[in-house]
Structure 1
Amino acid sequence: MQLTGLFDVVTALFPEQRARMATLSQFMPAAGILSAHAATAAAGVLLVYLGNGLRRGKHRAWQLAVVLAGAAVLLHVLKGLDFAAAAVSAALLVMLVAVRGRFLAVPDPRSRWRAVTAFTGFAATGFVLGLAEIAIRADHLVGAPGVTQWVEHAALGLIGVTGPVRFVRPWAADTVSLTTGTFGLLAVIAAAVLLLQTAERRPARTEADDERLRDLLRRYGGKDSLGYFALREDKALLWAPSGKAAVAYRVVRGVSLAAGDPIGVEAAWPEAIAVWLADCAAHGWTPAVLGCGRAGGTAYRRHGLDVIELGDEAVIDVGAFTLDGRPMRTVRQAVNRMRRAGYTCTVVRQSDLPPQELAAVVRAAELFRDGKVERGFSMALSRLGDPRDGDCLLVLARDGEKNLRGVLQFVPWGADGLSLDLMRGDRSADNGLTELMVVTAIEAGPGLGVRRVSLNFAVLRSVFARAEELGAGPVLRVWHRLLRLLSGLWQIESLYRANAKYLPTWQPRYLCFPTARDLPRIAVAALTAEAFLPAGRSSAPVPAAGRVTAVAV
């Protein structure tokens, strides 16, 4: 269909044969023929735009495409008796009608009224401006047309038809036609765009849903370090019919973004994934999964999604961790320097902190935050001090005068693991504060029954690691330079290096998607969800307490 739209645009730009134009001019004025050319081009552009909606099965896109294809058949005849081009549009119309059963995606119920509002606003503006232009030139009109004819002329101009008013100077008529015709086209285009706006779903989580999810996390949460982040307030839940598994997701810019593995019994994952994919198909959303593990990637691939490696998660084996040895010299020196300066750290469960002290920690973390933008979606909880998160572990760093200078928050990862969530530090503190807090948390692990600690996620870590190896090829080196350039915006390399100094085990994380052509849309949605791009009104998350991620460890 998009090729047909481009074909319509091209045929509208090229002049028609003189013989055809001579015949057509006997039945239509020149202004009408020019209007048909403009309308054909506009219809072609809209058909190109509608192609994406049709690919996602949107019923409203199909309705508009049918109308435009039918209109194009008539417009090709009116602009120059182009019956060959009209036949192409007619073939498209027949094809659309034949496959109408494929376009059943539910539209956004709000888009209809937005479309009506936009259409009315542009059309009314064009009408008023056209009427004003006629009134200004009232003493340059042929004859003495009344106000009723003025109104008729301005209204007909919106659809590209010449009205009954005649001007002494031809350029004056062209000005009115240009104004009204432009706003008429804008009204149609704006309405079409808004009609195709993808429905966004606000999370409708109940306390019962949260309790069911927490129960699954208590029983099966040890499989995925990102499981606890499904409790974010801006994620909706879709459950397997058995209730033994769920997919947590958020709809952003027409993409249904899930994060991590499904929650619950692995045997019930296929049921939950099938429900989620069916929901995507019903609404015309593009399904995508950010940061799932190997088991999750395998499950999603069995349901038809493609899988590529997105990066690696740094996981520390608490029992094997040591500050001894040359590779750990940098971390060891930073920790010793901070301890000699009088800095100490306290490791405590949130539920064990008195309310007043917890409130002071929340206030301090807010003061330590760099900027107002909260980043994070797939690997962040985006709240601190919530009574529901009593099992979260806090690391509180204080200087020699007992002033709070840094805060870490780890969320539970099953019964024996922790996953880094929040990292805040006073920027005026001595260098090495972060290393001290991380090492203190790891060293406290055995006494808390913790065997593993997940630190930050390093996007495309393998590129940086392989680029440093002997014999790295030219393609890899170019890719490495590009990522280093992007690191200035998104801390890609700094996160890798900050994680690597703790000598972690790298666990691969994957991106799941339908087809390669969906990747640009998914990338925009993911960057929006992680707050690296501004969110539109329809995709703005539910407000949550402050948190920062993507800060170098």
Structure 2
Amino acid sequence: MWQTLRQPRWVARVVWVIGVVSLVSALLPSMRERLVLVDDVVPAVFPAAATTGAAAIGTLLILLAGALRRGKYRAWLVALVASLLAVVAHVVKGLDVEEATLCLLLAGYLVAVRGEFTARPDPRSGRRLARVLLVGPVLATVLGFLWLTVDTDGHQAGSTWLDRLAHAALGLVGIPGPMDFTSQEYAGHAAVGLVVLGASVLIVALLVALEPAGGPHPADPEECARLRAMLDRWGGEDSLGYFATRDDRCVLFSASGKAALTYRVIGAVSLAAGDPIGDPEAWPAAIEAWLAEAKAYGWTPAVLGASEPGARAFHRSGLDVLELGDEAIVDATTFTLEGRSMRGVRQAVSRCTRGGISVSAHRVADLSPEEVADIRHRADAWRDGEVERGFSMALGRFGEERDPATVVVLARDASGELVGLLHFVPWGRDGVSLDLMRRDRASENGVIEAMVAGLMAAAPTLGVRRVSLNFAVFRSVFARGERLGAGPVLRLWRSVLLAASKFWQIESLYRANAKYHPDWEPRYLCFRSSSDLPRVGVAALRAEAFLVEPAWLQRLRGH
């Protein structure tokens, strides 16, 4: 039983419950008989300030629960101090012995489980915390000074601006200042208001101190060079390998330097994508380094879109695995438009040909800067919404000199105007993996099929033998759920996904890929425990830009 109670998630639950108790106790009136006893011992302003303090501490404990669940040492330390302060606050605000005893027991409990909280502060959070601690009290003092200057009800005559400034500064921590008031009611009103300002600074500082900072750093030029050297040798192992060079990913190398793993920290989730890069024999060392870092900072590790070999490696390192969907792989050497099964694609290509649409495929390095700039402009104009989506299967850039081997497929109408494009990143020496798929909405229906067929026709010239197309989430559910004899659970799950497809195009992506009769390669989600899945799911949606913070909140957070 004690081993269970020592676990950070149980400590977080206990702290959350006692935080709620403290907050509710502060909001409810104290027993009159006890309050009279307190008033005989301490000045009348103290109970009011202590009540505000108890409410602030209760709020702090509630907010700390999430960080405590991650094993954060800083959260443990703040919770311990807050619980001890809560003991004093509950006694002073109305001799609330029951709540004070609970908080005292909580302090003892936290001391007993100290060894479970070793996670370090997130990188770079110290600098922002220092700014809050320096600027916050100054700003709160100024606001308190302005309030005391404007609202003069109940003030004794003769107070100077220096008195008001000192009273505001001392009042932030609940200490009576030099100002005199006409009654205890007015003095208590001022004390409560100033303590609320001080508590606000404390809460903001706590949130900043516990906020993840987005990982150690994006990969620097030296790390990028090492990563690309690994891709040159081992890039054919995983069709998603080249996406590891995204600018928003951090990288960790194995001790031997033979393998690496790229990831991004979103909230409290360290989210990797695809397989590790490099020698498969060195994958376990890279995975262990990543898991050790996640544990050190209290991050939740997860992997989005691992292949079957990668998923096995992550599973051997202690992660659970869930099949997420399938990746469509087309063999360019055997692809043909002939046959009854390809009738739909063949008709789409013929329709585009009759409409005067021509298709060409190029290495981006072979295009002029003017052509690259025009393609980039058109791609941005055709994007669905302002946000560039993608993380696990999107590069996030186009036409840069560092990506000379990428392939672009262009569709032009009879007048030579660009009406569609596909962009592929390298997959080893003989493959490409789809990055961008854009077209003019006013273009002929079937442009995408024409561009895919055009790429297959140009594959021998480009040295391409295999092509990775879009990823189909829960593809097997659609494929098996529509068959005769499918069970009730499978049919129900398919119905749910069909309903979700109205918003996220889950089924349409599957259908769009299936028409080319690809080989389906499963992709997996790897995670530590099922209780992490909601958090991991939100992080994945944020990474892929399906959940986006409002612009005003991003500016407030300094992004």
The corresponding residue for 1:195 is 209
Residues 130, 176 of structure 1: 8 Å contact kept: no
User: In the alignment, which of 387, 410, 418 is matched to residue 404 of structure 1?
Assistant: 418
Q: Deviations over 1:381-422 (max 9, x none)?
A: 122222232222222222223333222122222233221112
Give the corresponding residue for 1:305: 319
SS state at 2:395 partner: coil
Residue correspondence of structure 1 range 200-279 to structure 2 within 5 A: 200-201=214-215, 203-279=217-293
User: Does 1:530 find its partner at 2:539?
Assistant: no
CA–CA separation in structure 2 for the residues paired with 1:144 and 1:359: 71
Tell me which moved more, 149-158 or 227-236. 149-158
Whether the 8 Å contact between 2:477 and 2:494 is mirrored in structure 1 is yes
> 1:292-343: per-residue Cα shift (whole Å, max 9, x none)?
1111112112222222122221122334433334443222211111112222
Q: Deviations over 1:155-182 (max 9, x none)?
A: 4443345656554577755653453233
357, 374, 396: which one pairs with 2:388? 374
Kindly state the Cα deviation for residue 245 of structure 1 after the two structures are TM-superposed.
0.7
Residue 70 and residue 401 in structure 1: after superposition, are their counterparts in 2 closer, same or farther (change >3 A)? same
Cα gap change, 1:96 to 1:364, in 2 (>3 Å): same
Q: Which consecutive unaligned segments of at least 5 residues does structure 1 have?
A: 542-553
Secondary structure of the 2:402 match is helix
Shift of 1:485: 4.8
Identify the residue that residue 69 of structure 1 maps to in structure 2: 83
- Aligned partner of 1:548 in structure 2 is none
Q: CA-to-partner distance for each residue in 1:27-52, whole Å, 9 max, x for gaps?
A: 13454223323322321221222122
Which residue in 2 is equivalent to 1:495? 509
Q: Spell out, residue by residue over 1:257-282, the C-alpha distance to the aligned partner (whole angstroms, 9 max, x if none).
A: 21100011111100000111112222
Is residue 2:343 matched to residue 1:291? no
**CA–CA distance in 1 between the matches of 2:182 and 2:32?**
29
1:445 aligns with 2:459: yes
Shift of 1:433: 0.6
Preserved CA contact (<8 Å) 1:198 1:253: yes
Question: Which residue in the other structure is 1:338 paired with?
Answer: 352
Letter in 1 for 2:109: M
Name whichever of 257-266 and 38-47 sits farther off.
38-47
Whole-angstrom CA distance in 2 between matches of 1:187 and 1:181: 10
CA offsets 1:28-80 (integer angstroms, 9 cap, x no match):
34542233233223212212221221222322212211211221222232233
Seen in structure 2, the aligned counterparts of structure 1 residues 374 and 172 have a Cα distance that, compared at 3 Å, is same
Question: Aligned partners of 1:334, 1:388: CA distance in 2, in Å?
Answer: 35
**Contact 1:129/1:179 (8 A) holds in 2:** no
Q: Deviations over 1:96-143 (max 9, x none)?
A: 334434433332464344335445555445544444444445475356
**Secondary structure, counterpart of 1:444 in structure 2:** helix
In 2, the alpha carbon distance for the partners of 1:60 and 1:422 equals 43
Q: State whether residues 49 and 188 of structure 2, in contact with CA within 8 Å, keep that contact through their aligned partners in structure 1.
A: no
For residues 20 and 212 of structure 1, do their structure 2 counterparts lie closer, same or farther at Cα, with a shift above 3 Å needed? same
For 2:351 and 2:22, locate their aligned partners in 1 and report how far apart those are by CA, in whole Å. Answer: 71
Q: Secondary structure at the match of 1:387?
A: coil
Normalised by the length of structure 2, the TM-score is 0.86
- Structure 2 unaligned residues grouped into runs of 5+: 1-14
Partner of 1:468: 482
Pairwise CA distance, 1:495: 1.7
Whether the aligned pair in 2 keeps the contact of 1:251 and 1:539 (CA below 8 Å) is: no
Query: How many matched pairs?
Result: 541
1:250 aligned counterpart, secondary structure? strand
- SS of the aligned residue for 1:248 comes to strand
Equivalent pairs: percent with the same residue? 50
2:407 to 390, 393, 404: 393
User: C-alpha distance in 1, partners of 2:377/2:29?
Assistant: 69
Per the TM alignment, residue 450 of structure 1 is displaced from its structure 2 partner at its CA by: 3.3
Q: After the TM superposition, which of the residue ranges 199-208 and 447-456 deviates more from structure 2? A: 199-208
1: distance between equivalents of 2:408 and 2:164? Answer: 73
Could you tell me how far apart the structure 1 residues matched to 2:218 and 2:206 are?
29
1:436 deviates by 0.2
Give yes or no for contact 2:122–2:215 (8 Å, CA) kept in 1: no
